[in-house]
Chains A and B, each alone.
Chain A
Amino acid sequence: MNWTWFHKFGSPPHIYRIAGSLAPWFGWPAGLLIIAALYAGLVLAPPDYQQGDGFRIIYVHAPSAWLSVMIYGVMATAAAIGLIWRMKVAHAAAASCAGIGAWFTVVSLITGMLWGKPMWGTYWVWDPRLTAQLVLLFLYLGYMGLRSGIDDLGRADRASAVLAIVGVINIPIIRYSVEWWNSIHQAPSVMKMDRPSMPMDMLAPLLMMLLGFTLYFAAVMLVRLRAEILRRERSASWVKEALQ
């Protein structure tokens, strides 16, 4: 088997360059998709027959919640790769995910509360789904706290990677909490096996938002990854070349 791709994949200068050229290709489509989805979601989509215009909060709530979970998956996978193959770039990638993930976990919680107040009559309940999402925020914060608390970069990488991997247990709990327990949170209406339970003019803006947010994350994460790589490799000879 040819392993050159693997070495290339782990090479900081290569990733630094690739990340730089890829980021705008994710960023600009993301921006266009999100703007189009805003118009489609706020103007074109009809009000819900039960929730009126309040349902439109889903167009920012669901994509943030999706990002919060998806980013954790990316972070834990990168951390595991870093731990198993001792790949520094993978650790750098994991570290670049945490801040973004924490932000969108907060956004998913706040937008959920703002939806919950008019619909459920309360901002917060200690419901399985909501509690698991709060745990996700603490996992992100714990990960970042652990990293900043350890001076030695190699040790910080390894310790935070273990935390990230252990925390993966929370992901299926978030995903299935609405099915395992009698959750107040509604069951998924888009990401399920049979047909989504939403008409197309309501669903399309949501799908655009989900894709837009995913591309947005890729762009932001790649820029953060570049920063992270530079910080780690600042004395390497390739940096001189990259800075020109």
Chain B
Amino acid sequence: MSEFFAMGGYAAFLWPAYAVTLLAVVVNVITARRAHAAAREEARRRLEMESAPEHER
């Protein structure tokens, strides 16, 4: 197992490379989902504002 993580002496280069790639993959999923959720939330608020009676705006 430790042999696997040692990666024939390249561990110090290989694992950071994999880590930064994983980071990008995860961050982009989270950002996209958050952007969509935020856009939905904002659209919903806007629609509520528009449907509310005049004096409540």
List the interface of chain A (C-beta within 8 A of B): 34, 42-43, 47, 52-54, 56-57, 60-61, 64, 99-100, 103-104, 106-107, 110-111, 114-115, 117-118, 216, 220-221, 223-224, 226-228, 230-231, 234-235, 239-240, 243
Contacts and interface: CB of A to CB of B under 8 A. Distances in A.
Nearest to B3: A53
A52 B35 CA distance: 42
Contacts of B20: 107, 110-111
Given A118-B10, A223-B32, A231 B17 contact: no
Q: Is the interface of A mostly helix, strand, loop or mixed?
A: helix
Taking each of A57, A61, A115, A235, which has the highest tally of chain B beta carbons within 10 Å of its own beta carbon? A57
Interface residues of B, number: 31
Nearest to A117: B13
Contacts of A228: 35, 39
Contact of B31 (A42, A99, A110): A99
A21 to B, nearest CB: 14
Contacts of B25: 34, 216
B33 A115 contact: no
Given A52-B9, A54-B10, A60 B18 contact: yes
Given A53-B7, A53-B9, A220-B28, 10 more contacts: A34-B25, A56-B10, A57-B10, A57-B13, A111-B17, A114-B13, A223-B33, A226-B36, A227-B39, A239-B47
Contact of A52 (B10, B18, B40): B10
B13 A54 contact: yes
A234 B24 contact: no
A60 B8 CA distance: 18
Contacts of B4: 42-43
A89 to B, nearest CB: 15
A60 B21 contact: yes
Nearest to B27: A103
A42 B17 CA distance: 13
B36 A230 contact: yes
Contacts of B9: 52-53
B18 to A, nearest CB: 6
B19 to A, nearest CB: 9
A64 B18 CA distance: 11
Contact of A106 (B18, B24, B39, B47): B24
B35 A104 contact: no
B42 A234 contact: yes
